[in-house]
Structures are given as structure tokens and as C-alpha cells.
Amino acid sequence: MATDISILGLGLMGSALAGTLLKAGHRVTVWNRSAAKAEPLAAQGAAVAATAAEAVLASPLVIVCVLDYAATRQLLDGADLAGRTVLNLTNGRPAEARETAAWVTGLGGDYLDGGIMAVPQMIGAPGALILYSGSPAAFDRHEPALTALAEPRYLGEDPGLAPLYDLAMLTGMYGQFAGFLSAAALIASERRSVAEFTESLLVPWLHAMAAITPPMGTQIDAADHATDVANLEVNRVALANLETTFREQGVRPDLLLPLKAIVDRRVAGGHGAEDLSALVEELR
């Protein structure tokens, strides 16, 4: 069913959200500080609001996708939020989400926070995921419309959960990139093809290693770090060899050194027989 939805913020992601909702048959009102960014969406049938407050009044569901939470509060300040759901798809921290939720509900609105696990080009396509948390009633009410954007995953009533999981997933992503960039620099030090190495060797290896992470998660939940494979002492030696090799090859090991330091610390504390999962105890 067609729904009235307003979008505040028409950067690459906001524009992708609005365009996808229009294609799904929803009635979309848009607003952006730079009015020119609304023109392509107006050509697709979107209504263009003169002010953010006008855009809020146009729809029961108001999606905000701007730079940060401060900008979100600034845009919504003075708008009539009573009876409306504010869905904040702005990247931020759990504490900010909880504070914003309290502010919105104090003005009579419902609040949902969201973490977009996709780039703009993925919105509306298979593989896109958006995490949601906040008002369960608001999520149930708007889920049919939100499904047009990406697979919706509701995490719970605490509005801080979506940004928490979002940042945790980004942490995993940045860790993967750090490993890839370090490996690429090592291969490039001998003028070998990074593209060939990545496609034929690294990606299949990473897929194989990904199968280890769910059992690691179980170990962490149970605080049981026994292992029958490479323990921390073995990994300590491997990381020492990596650091030495990087330096011998004229490559900086900077992205690996924090991991090496924590392994060294855990082993020095008498935990060399444990699994890599035990490193989480050093981070708590």
C-alpha cells in the first residue's frame, strides 16, 4: 500500500532512499538545504517542501538521513512531531540515539533509529540490510514500506541497539580492510600482482576463515577459550614473524601492531594455551 513518507537530507544515501520509495509507489516529500538536489526527485514525482518543518507535516513517517545527530536535532527543532514517527538513518552512537529518542518522544512523536548496512547503489536491491531499533509499534506500522529499501532487521525497543550493531559491523569491516591492506602492501613489496593474489588466494582463504567466527562467538558467550588448534602462543610467534617480515620488506606493520600487542599481553599473563577468542577478555 502507498504510504506518505518524508525524506530530510538528499545526499547520496538520502537520494537513493527517496528514489527507491518513489519507485515502490509511495508518496514522497523531500527536503534538502540545497534545493537543487531535490530536482531529480521532483522529476520522478516527489513533492518538494520549502522547509524541513513543512516536510515533517506532510507525512506520518519522517526519515532523516544527514551528517550527524546534531544536524538531525537542528532540522527537527521547532517541527510538529506529535503523532509522527521519526526514523533517523544518520550514523551515530548509541548514547546519541537514546538522547534523540527521549527528545522526540517528549514532543509526542515515535522514534526509530536505523543503521544502513549498504552503499547507496545497493538500496532497493538484494543484499541491502537496514538495522532498526526503537518503538516496536512504529516499526510494525511502517515495516511494509521500509521493506522496499532493504531487508529490515528489528533488534529491540532500546533505540541504541541499531547504532551499536551498526558500529560493531563497521568494526568488523574495518578490521577486514586493515588485514587486506596489510597483505596487499606485503605482496606489492615484491612487485607481485595484488589483484591476482586477492582473487585467487586471499578471498578464498578469508571465506574459509569466516567459518571459524560463529564458533568463536559461542566461545565468547560461554567465556570458554579452550582450543585444539593454534593457541595464543602459536599466534604470538606468527605475529612476531609478521612484524619482522614487514620491516625486512620495507612495509610498515602499523595496522597489525595493535593486534600483536594484545596477543603479547595475553600470553604474558599466562594465557598462551587459549584460543584467539580469549583476546576479547583483554578488551572488556
For 122-152, the pLDDT digits (tens) are 999 999 999 999 999 999 999 999 999 999 9
Average pLDDT, the chain: 97
Q: List Cα–Cα distances, 35 to 26, 40, 41, 51, 161, in angstroms.
A: 21, 10, 11, 10, 33
Is residue 1 pLDDT above 90, yes or no?
no
Where are the domains positioned within the chain? Answer: 4-156, 165-283
Cα dihedral: 131, 136, 139, 141 (round 10): 170
> Mean pLDDT throughout 72-92?
97
Q: CATH topology of 4-156 equal to that of 165-283?
A: no
Cell matching residue 278: 580469549
Radius of gyration of the chain, Cα coordinates, nearest whole angstrom: 23
pLDDT tens for each residue of 250-279: 999 999 999 999 999 999 999 999 999 999
The CATH architecture one would assign to domain 165-283 is Orthogonal Bundle (1.10)
Residues 220-235 have a mean pLDDT of 96
pTM: 0.93
User: What's the Cα-to-Cα distance from 220 to each of 100, 152, 175, 214, rounded to whole Å?
Assistant: 32, 27, 18, 10
pLDDT of 42 higher than 90: yes
pLDDT score of 264 = 98
Per-residue pLDDT band for 187 (boundaries 50, 70, 90) equals: very high
User: Residue 279: which region, alpha, beta or left (left: phi > 0; alpha: psi -120 to 50)?
Assistant: alpha
Sorting pLDDT into bands at 50, 70 and 90, what band is 218? Answer: very high
What pLDDT sits at residue 278? 98
Distance CA 58, CA 76 (A): 14
What is the pLDDT, as a whole number, of residue 178? 97
**45-70 pLDDT tens trace:** 999 999 999 999 999 999 999 999 99
Name the fold adopted by 4-156.
Rossmann fold (3.40.50)
Q: Determine the pLDDT at residue 52.
A: 97
Q: How far apart are alpha carbons 129 and 185 in whole angstroms?
A: 31
